[in-house]
Structure 1
Amino acid sequence: MSSLDSAPAPELVALAEGYGIATQYHSFFGDLVQVPETTLRRILEAMGVATFTAEQVERERAELAARPWRELVPPSLVVRQGDSVSVPVTTREGRSPVLELVLEDGTRRPLPVPSDLPAQEQEVEGVPFRRVTLTLPGDLPLGWHTVEATETRTGESAPARAASCVLAVVPQRLEMPELRPDKGGRGWGLMTQLYSVRSRASWGIGDFADLADIADLTGTRGGDFVLVNPVHAGEVTGHIEPSPYLPASRRFVSPLYIRPEDIAEAAYLPSSQRALVEWAQESVAASNTDARHLDRDASWAAKRSALEVIFQAPRSARRQRSFEAFRAREGRVLEDFALWCAIQEHYEGPDGAAVPDGSAGPAELDDATSPLVSRLRSELASRVEFYSWIQWVADEQLERAQRAGLEAGMSLGVMHDLAVGVHPQGADAWSMRRFFAPGISVGAPPDMYNQQGQDWSQPPWRPEELRRSGYRPLREMVRALLRHAGALRIDHIIGFFRLWWIPQGLGAGAGTYVRYDHEAMIGVLLLEAQRAGAVVIGEDLGNVEPWVRDYLSSRGVLGTSVLWFEYEGDQPKPPEHYRKLLLATVNTHDLPPTAGYLADEHVDLRERLGLLTEPVEQVRAAADHERERILGILRERGLISAHPTEREIVEALHLHLVAAESVLLGVALVDAVGERRTQNQPGTFEEYPNWQVPLANSSEEAVLVEDLAGVSRFESLTSVIDGALRAQAAERA
């Protein structure tokens, strides 16, 4: 047995469990796994807990037990509206608490603390403490409030201690907004990888102007939403990470999606400067019809040069005030993000080539609070303004895309996708360092598909730091995403409950689960969603306990179902048995488009890449059996003929889902144009061009946004789905 496999001491186990770390768990294969000592120590260390000696373990256990007694009031509480709100108040002997409730609107309410409240007493390091529990009024409005507390001694005028508690009053559940009544309260929408869908005016990559046109087209055809890949911010220098699920920041958006010509000031450029913008677009325009590969780096280089020109153009007084108001509203978080961009550019150059500068060392740059970074904040002020301006421009264009969808009749409009985490060297990890666990990445434990487990190379949030901050990073992130959207899909929503933490260097299989306060985190999510009038969808596929799905449904969070993954025993689940609170789809971005799946493209691709763990004949036979079983069900229901075409099968699979009660039905744009190539092949890095495949038809010819309305498969599939939902609603009326 290696040292990694050694069983931890009971004291270490108790300490780990006190911090929400699982010391044992049941594997995918049903085995009870004891988490090794090294894993527990490394994770505790990442939480700031010292465990090198037995004395340290005992000291940390005592500190953990004493911590609540040292808090005058807890740093944050998240409570459901209408529930009893209990605030523990802890004072030292001989001192009294004075409390005041400050509502979000600024209203102040004194909170008298009755002297006859039952009290608990505890001595911590020789200091006696007394705790009472104060019950707050039950009529608190939804919102972000504060309980301000001071501790005073009789006869003394100055307070001995002061503290505040962030009090979030959140909805009991999130109610669905009203969808189109002619579809019985159900709706459908398109799902697309935005970067892959170009128009003739694009810059080699899909953008927010293309999104506005897609939303308009979808709305006029009866759709209620357009789900896009995460549009989180990525790098601004060097090679841009292709995966939208490994962003530099989840708080801000990628400038790759800006359409430079749509910026107001671009229309008033002098002809010489206008020509510079046009030439930049022309340098990448030819790639709009290239169906083979997307080049983010080339697109960004062209856009950056155009944005530099437009940024220098004078803004009207009204536009300048709008920009300044945006910066003021976003505050220090925006300034830090823009500074990160400016620093990357300063030291790496716009193309990622290292720029020598003997005045700085990497260690200083890694610390956002270092003297060097403070100096750069001043020296790079003009570039900080530039990158802040870029976010303002992107925000405006997102607003136009959302408005286009709603004006076309959509009930929801844009549906954003929230990635699980961020790049370990990205802006969020740099500017919010205290919120992330150092030396840890998240992933998934071993299962039948990934026998070594998965490491996603993303640092996890530290649960205790979230609590101490009143869940500020989560609140700000969700609020920003929903500012110009009607729905939010959350990838791997089980991460709001627990995440698989992996100490770096130990391998994915040597990790364990760390629990989060899901009641608080889901509550924060619902509060921001309700304020935005938005729907929340949780991607709850895979190894998710049934109680989690039940809990999310009880809070009004929709689940996710993919037709090919839905089974009852060894038989495909009838759509009539699907959950009502659900986004139901035929496929997902981790599978080939339906046409490719029907043609066993997923088997062929995995064979070519050497990813199969079983003989190809066996895998192909299993895939053929699965396909024929589904086709048999479609025949039994009269949805396909004896010898159906590919197009007929694709439409029948979507009609099959209409039989479900699920409130939302997603239609992949790739299915509507006959595309066969997958966007992402799990288990690959450089072996396959993940997230770099442009939208194309079955002949591998690029399909542009303005051509969609004339694509017969697109017209037919969207008409069939919309008509079926209307007919079903009329029949049930």
Structure 2
Amino acid sequence: MPDAPDTSTAAAAPSERLQELARRYGVAVEYHDWQGRHVHVPASTVVAVLAALDVDADGDDAVEAALVAVDEAPWRRTLPPVVVLRDGRVGEVEVHVPHGETVRCELVREDGRTVPLAQLDRWTEPRTVDGALVGRAVLAVPADTPLGWHELRAWVGDHAGDDAPTATAPLAVTPSRLELPEGVRDGQHWGLMAQLYSVRSRRSWGLGDTADLAELASWSGGLGADFVLVNPLHAAEPVAPMEPSPYLPTTRRFVNPVYIRVEDVRETAYLPSTDRAVLEWAAEELRAASASGALVDRDAVWAAKRSALRTVFEAGRSDAREAAFAAFRAREGQGLADFATWCALADRYGLPSSRWPDAAHDHGSAEQRRLVGEVADGARFHEWLQWVVDEQLEAAQRTATRAGMALGVVHDLAVGVHPVGADTWTLGAALARGITVGAPPDAFNQQGQDWSQPPWRPDRLAELGYAPYRDMVRTVLRHAGGVRVDHVMGLFRLWWVPAGLGPDAGTYVRYDHEAMVGVLALEAHRAGAVVVGEDLGVVEPWVRDHLRERGVLGTSVLWFERTQDGAPLPPERWRELCMATVTTHDLPPTAGYLAGEHIDLRDRLGLLTRPVEEERRVDEADRASVVAQLAERGLVPDDPTERQLVEGLHRLLRASPSRLLGVSLPDAVGERRTQNQPGTHEQYPNWRVPLGDGAGDPVLLEDLPRHPRVRSLLDALLTDHPIR
């Protein structure tokens, strides 16, 4: 990566040829900000972003050479790296061969059937590449090709009769439209939204776990809920300090074992009484923290659980259980082995990984293989942890559906991963280096955001056949009725921030949204799951149109649903294909929001870019306009209390056509404290606040069925469906 640009030239505009090169790689040279202003991206930013894609654009000669290279790239390959199509349509595949040579191509379907592909009558002028003429043929993929992952095979010229093809490429046929699961195709369906770690019970070890998830699903399912939406459960660091944000995981493919309920591991029941006693003793202090309402301490929880789980692991398993573990390892393959090895290396050498021996980063070397062999036992433990948590998530989903839920558990997919986490070690060049993902300035984060996460490289994802992305989505959906995709606009474009620049100095980079949305829809179809895209913030209008066309639900947050002139949008005009909620985890719970606590907090933390009095005036007017809407509709009495306002806002949701309604669990108990304040790190205890009431007193899972505010809010939401 080049050094940060000199500030004297940072604002220079890119030349026309640099702009053309940027467009060829999907790098934006201009955009409209949250206030509609036209912004031109400085040349320095464009050059830095292209460098992260291994494109040298430093100077006119380099730009010209790069333009030639990108033009010739497809002509240098027989087949494209991957082909992603929609079902029910004739697909087209471009094949490049030496001019005058014949080509034979076939499709090998997932079911093993082989289908020859016919060449379309399309003439393209041959092109000289490296001194030789190269021709292009266009082949047709039949419209009746079934959904799934297939393989293209091509034989060129004299090799047309060989067994081994000249080239191969994956071909994915994806749903033109992802249909809703049968249980939610008609009417409205509600569910709870919970930060699982914050929902503690009297039996959990200081942090909500898989058993608590099953209990929450069973209880709410008995009241008619059709889903429980939880925070991302992605894996974090295996050693302290564990990153508190579930949206900054070390990998999105695997699960954080901190959510394991130790007592529910089958082998725990067979431990010697002395080991069982030690296990119970380790849990006592953590359970006391839950009862006291102390902040969630992931490091303390994981230290105790890890010790207990290591004891269980070393106790061994029956032959049948060992066979089940082996089957899990075989199914997850090299991805699991690599992740577990990274965890074991972190156990031995600590984090960040810059402390590790250089050989640990020399993938494929003999010295690295030696290090991997030395930590093999530790890696096997981490593989076992993934098997255990997978089993417990399967049990939680089974409990949810048996309780009558149409969807069950809906998981959350984070935008990205930690900059020095497992994925950056295991996935290598699939992630861009010297770049982090964020968001440009907007009304709620006026300085912009830098999420410190390395983005997928669009080009490398294609070269890998989207396999890392596909495998991640499969894991998230394996034991789920749905997935919420955080910042779903990232499937279309992401805000890339070059190292050394502020978040307001980045630019957008586009992805192949047909492929990104298509692969997501294919895996959701196979899982029988619903997909909800979090499409808040700066969104190009056509993006929502595309998602709706593909059957991906949007997100409507009551406070943000406004007409063009800023008035509250009547709920009758909200989208049908969406999940409607009153609030989101990046705002205070509704009781706190009604009191303007988000303005006070941002003022205390220095996050405002305009005077606090102006912020309060604008915010109070916005909130007052929504409250007036409640009064006009008779949804609250005169001079309503905070509790009546919260309930009135949830009644308002029922007037929308939205298919899914999400009820924040903190709203149900009167909580006022926010879970996360964007733009902060240590200034606020983000992602560590346990579930509590309006006074901050703890509310444990067992208290929910009898909590007066819970029952009152659900009664208000379900006026047509009284609580059983």
Shorter chain as denominator, the TM-score bin is over 0.9
- Given the superposition, is the C-alpha separation of residues 409 and 637 from structure 1 closer, same or farther in structure 2, using an over 3 Å criterion? same
Instruction: Identify the residue that residue 697 of structure 1 maps to in structure 2.
Output: 693
Counterpart among 335, 345, 367 of residue 343 in structure 1 = 345
2:612 matches 1:608: no
Q: What is residue 250 of structure 1 aligned with on the other side?
A: 252
Give a deviation string over 1:420-468, Cα, whole Å, max 9, x none. 1000101111100110111011111233443432211001111011111
Counterpart in the other structure of 1:140: 145
Is the counterpart of residue 522 in structure 1 residue 523 in structure 2? no
Corresponding residue number in structure 1 for 2:83: 77
State the distance in 1 between where 2:102 and 2:494 align: 41
Amino acid in the other structure paired with 1:647: R
Cα distance between partner residues in 2 of 1:667 and 1:604: 25
1:4-19 matches, within 5 Å, as 4-19=10-25
Q: Aligned to 2:551, which of 546, 550, 556?
A: 556
Letter in 2 for 1:132: A
1:307 match: 309
How big is the shift at 1:721?
1.9
SS in 1 for 2:404: coil
Task: Tell me, yes or no, if the aligned pair for 2:442 and 2:537 is still in contact at 8 Å.
Answer: no
2:172 aligned with 1:177 = no
Partner of 2:649: 653
Please show how residues 635-646 of structure 1 align to structure 2 within 5 Å.
635-646=631-642
Q: Which SS does the other structure have where 2:580 is aligned?
A: strand
Residue range with higher mean Cα deviation, 640-649 or 601-610: 601-610
Q: Percent identity?
A: 54
Q: Secondary structure at the match of 1:223?
A: coil
Asked whether the equivalents of residues 353 and 420 of structure 2 are also in contact (C-alpha less than 8 Å), the reply is no
2:538 alignment counterpart: 543
**Deviation of the 1:261 alpha carbon:** 0.8
Q: Does 1:634 align with 2:626?
A: no
Q: Distance in 2 between matches of 1:476 and 1:157?
A: 34
Paired with 2:13 and 2:454, the residues of 1 have a C-alpha distance of 26
Aligned to 2:3: none
Q: 1:134, CA displacement in angstroms?
A: 1.0
Deviation at 1:644, TM superposition (A): 2.0
Listed as ranges, the matches of 1:582-731 within 5 Å are 582-724=578-720
User: Deviations along 1:174-194, whole A, 9 cap, x unmatched?
Assistant: 11113369xx52100000100
Which string of whole-angstrom CA distances, capped at 9 and with x for unpartnered residues, describes residues 566-601 of structure 1?
111221111001000010000111111111112222
> Which 10-residue stretch deviates more, 71-80 or 717-726?
717-726
CA distance in 2, matches of 1:325, 1:498: 38
The answer on whether the counterparts of 1:179 and 1:186 sit within 8 Å (CA) in structure 2 is: no
Report how far residue 684 of structure 1 moved. Answer: 1.6
SS of aligned partner of 2:695: coil
The equivalences for 1:460-539 within 5 A come to 460-539=455-534
> Could you report, residue by residue, the CA deviation over 1:31-80 in whole angstroms, capped at 9, with x for unpaired residues?
33222222122111111112334333222211111111111111111111
Q: Superposed, which structure 2 residues align to 1:409-428 within 5 Å? A: 409-428=404-423
Q: Which moved more, 1:707-716 or 1:530-539?
A: 707-716
Indicate whether 1:392 and 2:387 are aligned: yes
1:38 maps onto 2:44 in alignment:
yes
1:226-258, Cα deviation, whole Å (9 max, x unpaired): 010111000011201111111000000101101
Shift of 1:624: 3.0
Which 10-residue stretch deviates more, 103-112 or 667-676?
A: 103-112
Contact 2:588 2:675 in 1 (8 A): yes
Distance in 2 (CA, whole Å) between partners of 1:49 and 1:71 is: 19
CA distance in 2, matches of 1:453, 1:677: 23
2:117 pairs with 1:111: yes
Residues 452 and 525 (structure 1 numbering): CA distance in 2 closer, same or farther, change over 3 Å? same
- The root-mean-square deviation of aligned C-alpha atoms, in Å, is 2.1
1:157 positional shift: 6.6
**Equivalents in 2 of 1:25, 1:118: separation in Å?**
37
What is the alpha-carbon distance in structure 2 between the residues aligned to residue 473 and residue 74 of structure 1?
18
Residues 366 and 452 (structure 1), Cα distance of their counterparts in 2 relative to 1, 3 Å cut: farther
Alignment-derived partner of residue 241 in structure 2: 239
1:28 CA displacement:
2.8
Determine if contact 2:647/2:716 at 8 Å carries over to the other structure: yes
Does 594-603 or 621-630 show the bigger shift?
Answer: 621-630
Q: Is the 8 A contact 2:410 2:484 kept in 1?
A: yes
Match of 1:731 in 2: none
1:726, distance to aligned residue in structure 2 (A): 7.9
Cα distance 1:355–1:493, how it changes in 2: closer, same or farther (>3 A)?
closer
2:67 is matched with which residue: 61, 81, 87? 61
Question: How many aligned positions are there?
Answer: 716
C-alpha deviation, 1:615, in angstroms:
3.9
Report deviation, 1:30.
Answer: 3.2
Q: Find 1:265's aligned residue among 264, 267, 285.
A: 267
CA distance in structure 1 between the partners assigned to 2:216 and 2:386 by the alignment: 22
Equivalent pair of 2:236/2:251 in contact (CA under 8 Å): yes
Residues in 2 aligned to 1:34 and 1:341: alpha-carbon distance in whole angstroms: 43
Q: Secondary structure at the match of 1:320?
A: helix
In 2, Cα distance between equivalents of 1:422 and 1:677: 26
2:51–2:57 Cα contact (<8 Å) kept: yes
Other-structure match for 2:131: 126
Q: How far off is 1:167 after superposition?
A: 0.8
User: 2: CA distance between counterparts of 1:628 and 1:112?
Assistant: 64
Q: Which moved more, 1:17-26 or 1:425-434?
A: 17-26
Q: 1:723 & 1:479 partners in 2: Cα distance?
A: 37
Alignment of 1:153-172 (within 5 A): 153=158, 162-172=166-176
Q: 2:453 aligns with which of 455, 458, 461?
A: 458
Q: Mark the CA change 1:625 to 1:62 in structure 2 (over 3 Å): closer, same or farther.
A: closer
2:20 maps to a residue whose letter is A
Flag the 1:592–1:355 CA change in 2: closer, same or farther, 3 A: closer
User: For the structure 1 residues 30 and 249, does the alpha-carbon distance in structure 2 shift closer, same or farther, using more than 3 Å as the test?
Assistant: same
Paired amino acid for 1:508:
P
Structure 1 range deviating more: 451-460 or 416-425:
451-460
Amino acid aligned to 2:581: T
Q: Is the contact between residue 445 and residue 607 of structure 2 (CA under 8 Å) also seen in structure 1? A: no
Structure 1 letter corresponding to 2:176: Q
Q: Deviations over 1:284-312 (max 9, x none)?
A: 22111132411110000000000000001
Stretch deviating more after TM superposition (284-293 or 659-668): 284-293
Letter paired with 2:448: G
Query: Retained in 2: the 8 A contact 1:221–1:719?
Result: no
Cα distance, 1:197–1:499 mapped onto 2, change above 3 Å: same
Q: Distance in 2 between matches of 1:620 and 1:343?
A: 50
TM-score (norm 2): 0.95
Three-state SS of the structure 2 residue aligned to 1:169 is: strand
- The unaligned stretches of length 5 or more in structure 1 are 728-733
Distance 1:46-1:125 versus aligned 2 partners, 3 A rule: same
Kindly tell me: are residues 680 and 11 of structure 1, through their superposed partners in 2, closer, same or farther at Cα, counting changes over 3 Å?
same
Question: Which SS does the other structure have where 1:5 is aligned?
Answer: coil
- 1:100 and 1:655 mapped to 2: Cα distance? 57
The amino acid of 1:291's aligned partner reads G
